[in-house]
Chains A and B, each alone.
Chain A
Amino acid sequence: MGFLTSIFLWSLAGLSVPILIALWNRRRRLQVDFGGFYLLRRIMEVTKRRIQILQWLKLLNRLLLLSLLIGIFAEPYKEQSVLKDASGGFALILDVGRVMQGSHPQGTLIDEQWKKVLEALREMPQNAQGVVLFVSEKCRSLKLESGRMTATGAEWSKYLRPEIFMYTNEATTSGGLQDCMARADSLFDGKSYLRVFISPLPSTLGNISNLGLVRFMPLRRPEVSFIEKPQVQQEIENSQVKISGIDDRDVSMIRPPQERVSLGRLSGNLDLPLTERAWLLFERPQDADPWEGARLLPLEYLDSQEIVLWAAEETPGYLSLLAALRAHPRLKVVRQVGGSPVGDLVIVYGGMNQSLEHIKRVWIFQSPERPSFYPIRDQKQWTSGAGFSDTRRSFQLKVDAGSIFVKRYGLFDPDRFETLESFEDGAPSLMSVLDSTNTIWLTPFDLEDLSTDLSLEPTFIPYLYSKLEAWLQLKDHDLSEGFAKAVWLMPGRVKPDPQILQELKWPGIYEMGADFLTIDPIPYPSEYLDPPAAVTGQDYYVEKVSLRDWLMKLLVGSMAIELILCLLAARFGWLIALLMTVGPGFLLPQMTLASTVTEKVAVGTFEPMNPQRREALKQLIRDSVFLSNLEFQAPQPVQISDLWKNAVVFMSGDQMPSFSSSERQKIREYLESGGLLVFDEPLASVGTAFRQGVERELAQILPGRSLEAIPGDDVIFRTFYLLSEVSGRRLTSPQIEGIKLDKRWVVLFSTNDLLGAILRSSLGDYTLSVAPYGVMQRTLSQRLLMNFLFYSVTIDYKDDAIHLPHILKRRVK
């Protein structure tokens, strides 16, 4: 450690001041001859000690306070070795596949991975921004609480903890790894960055030497130890399950609701009555690996394996679905066309107008062909049923005979599946009916589960199986959010977040309200890859890290302690001290927030702004933090009287609001004073109500002026990114339009739904499809929107001649 301004260390002589004050105070103390001294003597010992301690604490704290002040001026630093290759950024790719379920006698792989993560983050340069990606079969990115995907190593260290790692029961594959690297590449956008991969390198990764990863941090390989599956046989006979081959273990039976019956130590055969749903739990022997121990055997039962697939008429889609379901090894699917559905479990294909009450459980595949449904804009839509607000939820009907569990899934019609060839990422466009009151368009199932692969078999059928199996397992249990609570986990050291458990199925036994749910472990691989022989990216350089911020925090703490120590001697001192300690906890975040907000450029929106477009705008602004030093505030709805506070105001919705004449006057003043209005057509169509509304209002606000095409060489195409074309979700118009005042664009209008092209779901996947060119449209849309943001604060700055050589150079490229 050293000091950047060591001259200030001379100030340490000032430490004598508090000592002198303490001595002076000692001399000035009031002396009293007191008659009740006898009583004081009885209580003196403890109090005397307390006073002395307080005095000493005061003195020490003042010395500390002064030292910290001097330290802050002297600015100490520590030297830290950091990875040279990470100067431009880093991507931390963590293996969260099932291989991580392995454990050693010394601990779990999760523990070891956590240590390596901290080690890797410590080696990152302090200003380098990086992302954290989780890899298994798929790649998942992690966001900070603020919604940002990128942060420095220190910020990640503060935020990360093993509980939020998205450990899954899937195998880790090179496909997932490539996906992660592609994501990282797109995030860093061609900049040089360091990739760090932390994994036990399971054999399922295949050949990774060609993937171009820069730094491996292999975890210790667990000893090859398959999860011991119960090697018992089950047979149903005369309403009994006959179980054979039990190998001298303590056995319990778990049966909903919340019943666990110990069957004692068993060996050989066991006969059990058929029940709705139950598991045999084979207790692990003493001293056994916990991973191997808790073995669960779902007991066979009869009634839930038969499903009726019903349709009013036979269509190719129906037959396709029937064939797919019948290929399932465990399901028995009964074909039924026309009439009333007969059976406990029924999948209704194509909709049905009959009563469902006599059916125990129903799953409905709605068909977009039904005449009563919403208008279908094109056949590239996946549709859901009308009339209920969330098709992914289940509901229960209470009838005399009991309760009926209806699980409504509006799935797409496989008849139409072959027409989806232009889908880029499996997401339909849902824009046209977003504000409709009686129709909610929802993707029929989790879209992220579907890849861009357009064939039915590899994507839909396994998905369908998994859903059906889950459905059958759950039976009468409501699948509401947050239902699963871990009872225990295997290997059980680190407890993942319940939400992650629910989504990603970490093996274990889970309690669902009063019931149990088990997720069986999958064996981790028996083979592991050798770590690459040549590990590159180990070049370090020494970075001086200032400790001033750290000292500042200590200084604030020391000042608070001083205040508290002074208050302790006062009347109600304890109470005030308590308030002083707790109060800042409530006040500081707001104060910090206030100060943060004031430093950012304000961005507003007109109401009624489409909520998804507002979210897209938020995401854009969040990402802009990573791209530039200029920080924009999250978009907020604006009052006309507060327009002046915003550098730019966005509007994207179905309709344009009608303003009063005074409001139009204020908008005009705003535009004349330097403001910017950006309109984005959410339907990406011409002649819409929104467009007409905008034109109507603009004609009133800026009489005599109308929207005109912005030339391709305008500064707006180079305020931040150098662009040569417009983009959007649909390329309806080849140009951006605008209105110019005093050589400055005050209104911008995009017909192509720029915000829709960049809208992403909470998991980071794009929500809406783009056409016709695909991903590139998204990138260009984001860049154009960034240019709009920067145009609002820089205007024609990039027109300065000083930028010309660089721009020309880029253009040539």
Chain B
Amino acid sequence: MKALDEASLVEFAKTVELTASQLLEGFHVSRRGGEGLEFHSLLSYSPGEDVRRIDWRRYASSDRLFVKKFEREEKSNWILAIDRSPSMNYGAKRDWASRWAGVIIFLAQIWGDRWQLVPHWTNEVKGAFEALTMATDGFKPELNPTIESQATGRLIVLSDFFWEREFLEYSLKNWQADFKSVHCVQILEPQEASFDFKETIEFRDLESSDRLILDGQAVKKRYLVELTNLQRMIQSALVEPSTWTSVRSSGESIELQIQKFFEVLWAS
């Protein structure tokens, strides 16, 4: 096991804090919004707010738009599971997953929500950040692990989901039975998503010593079809309130990715 690099930890924590604070500014409404909420007050509608929360009865009587504001009824319990299989070492996927987990932990801490990082089950931010920095957290799907069930927990799985189909279907089914909701975040390198290889290349597997010599141009179409099929399979296996998000590990803003994630999550 490698020693903790304090500088890396500080760097990681700063990045997470900065990201989370930027997110919180965008979450001025969402902080208190969400599922299982109790009506709190009415505020004037401002453009950009969720139109579903407009109080149409009040609009009919006053000719002004008001938005219903809610108070959270109960705290959430976030369980974060990061896929640590070798395929996640491709590009920046592993670090991206760690940042995602760090930011969610940070937000949960601020919101006063409970959170846990698989498999440590710790509730200390520092310990979690250490684990995220050293990549000692997470689970390895190829070892077929089980995540301890929590009926009130919301499970967030950060992975590329390049798993065997049968295992993936089995896991999604079990998780949805064991948790209140399952939120799958697929993290892909841009090359994995677009497969822009133009020549004949010897591809090497990160999980085994397998090699394949393929014509990138010729394979692209069928690769993208396989990827789409995989994503469709996961989406179809998830039942509300579970959600599905696919993000890129570079080229996109992580703040926007997480904001969209929560918006989808709260809308479900």
Q: Which residues of A are in contact with B by a Cβ distance under 8 Å?
A: 29-44, 47-48, 50-52, 54, 569-571, 573
Contacts and interface: CB of A to CB of B under 8 A. Distances in A.
A92 to B, nearest CB: 53
25 contacts: A29-B201, A29-B202, A31-B201, A32-B202, A34-B90, A34-B191, A35-B88, A35-B89, A35-B91, A35-B189, A36-B188, A36-B191, A36-B227, A37-B87, A37-B207, A40-B212, A44-B212, A47-B218, A47-B222, A48-B212, A48-B213, A50-B215, A51-B215, A569-B200, A569-B217
Nearest to A26: B213
B195 interface: yes
Given A31-B204, A32-B197, A48-B214, A43 B93 contact: no
Contacts of A573: 217
A41 B215 contact: no
A86 to B, nearest CB: 55
A24 to B, nearest CB: 14
Given A32-B202, A32-B204, A34-B203, A47 B93 contact: no
A42 B214 contact: no
A30 B227 contact: no
B223 interface: yes
A42 B203 CA distance: 13
Given A50-B215, A51-B214, A52-B213, 19 more contacts: A29-B213, A30-B199, A31-B204, A32-B204, A33-B205, A33-B206, A35-B160, A36-B87, A36-B162, A36-B191, A36-B227, A37-B162, A37-B204, A38-B87, A38-B162, A39-B223, A40-B223, A41-B210, A47-B222
A35 B213 contact: no
B114 to A, nearest CB: 32
Contact of B213 (A36, A39, A51, A569): A51
Interface string B198-239: 111111111100101111011100110011001000000000
Nearest to B192: A36
Contact of A35 (B90, B198, B210, B223): B90
Nearest to A44: B212
A570 B217 contact: yes
A36 B161 CA distance: 10
Contacts of B91: 35
Nearest to A36: B192
Contacts of A571: 198, 217
B218 A39 contact: no
The 10 residue pairs across chains A and B that have the minimum distance between CB atoms: A35-B90, A38-B162, A37-B205, A36-B192, A39-B226, A31-B202, A34-B203, A35-B87, A43-B222, A33-B204
B63 to A, nearest CB: 55
A40 B201 CA distance: 12
Interface of B: 87-91, 93, 160, 162-163, 188-189, 191-192, 195, 197-207, 210, 212-215, 217-219, 222-223, 226-227, 230
Contacts of B163: 38
Contacts of A31: 201-202, 204
Nearest to A46: B222
Contacts of B195: 36
B230 A37 contact: no
Nearest to B203: A34
B212 A35 contact: no
B203 A569 contact: no
Contacts of A33: 90, 203-206
Given A29-B200, A31-B201, A31-B204, A36 B214 contact: no
Contacts of B93: 35
B123 to A, nearest CB: 32
B207 to A, nearest CB: 7
Given A39-B230, A41-B212, A51 B189 contact: no
B233 to A, nearest CB: 12
A43 B223 contact: yes
Contacts of B205: 33-34, 37-38, 41
B174 to A, nearest CB: 21
Given A35-B87, A36-B195, A38-B87, A30 B214 contact: no
Chain A binding surface, main DSSP class = helix
A496 to B, nearest CB: 49
Which residue of B88, B160, B210, B215 has the most chain A CB atoms within 10 A of its CB atom? Answer: B215
A32 B91 CA distance: 11
B198 to A, nearest CB: 8
A17 to B, nearest CB: 21
Contacts of A47: 214-215, 218-219, 222
Nearest to A572: B217
A35 B218 contact: no
Contacts of A29: 200-202, 213
A37 B206 contact: yes
Nearest to A37: B205
A32 B202 CA distance: 6
A275 to B, nearest CB: 66
A52 B212 CA distance: 11
A573 B198 CA distance: 12
Nearest to B204: A33
B219 A43 contact: yes
B200 A51 contact: yes
A46 B218 CA distance: 11
A80 B212 CA distance: 53
A35 B203 CA distance: 9
A48 B212 CA distance: 7
Contacts of B188: 35-36
B204 A34 contact: yes
A347 B195 CA distance: 85
Nearest to A25: B200
A36 to B, nearest CB: 4
B171 to A, nearest CB: 15
B211 to A, nearest CB: 8
A133 B203 CA distance: 68
A44 B217 contact: no
Which residue of B189, B199, B204, B219 has the most chain A CB atoms within 10 A of its CB atom? Answer: B219
B160 to A, nearest CB: 6
Which residue of B192, B204, B206, B212 has the most chain A CB atoms within 10 A of its CB atom? Answer: B212
Contacts of B226: 39, 42-43
A32 B201 contact: yes
A33 B212 CA distance: 10
B214 to A, nearest CB: 5
Contacts of A44: 212, 214
Contact of B227 (A39, A41, A569): A39
Contacts of B189: 35
Contacts of A34: 90, 191-192, 203-206
Given A47-B215, A48-B213, A36 B204 contact: no
A94 to B, nearest CB: 54
Nearest to A31: B202
B87 A40 contact: no
A35 B202 contact: no
A46 to B, nearest CB: 9
B95 to A, nearest CB: 13
B202 A30 contact: yes
A577 to B, nearest CB: 13
Contacts of A54: 215
Contacts of B206: 33-35, 37
A688 to B, nearest CB: 75
B212 A39 contact: no
B216 to A, nearest CB: 9
A551 B43 CA distance: 89
Contacts of B197: 32
A7 B192 CA distance: 56
A44 B90 CA distance: 20
Nearest to B215: A51
B213 A37 contact: no
A35 to B, nearest CB: 3
Given A34-B90, A38-B87, A39-B162, A50 B192 contact: no
A572 to B, nearest CB: 10
A458 B218 CA distance: 77
A32 B192 CA distance: 12
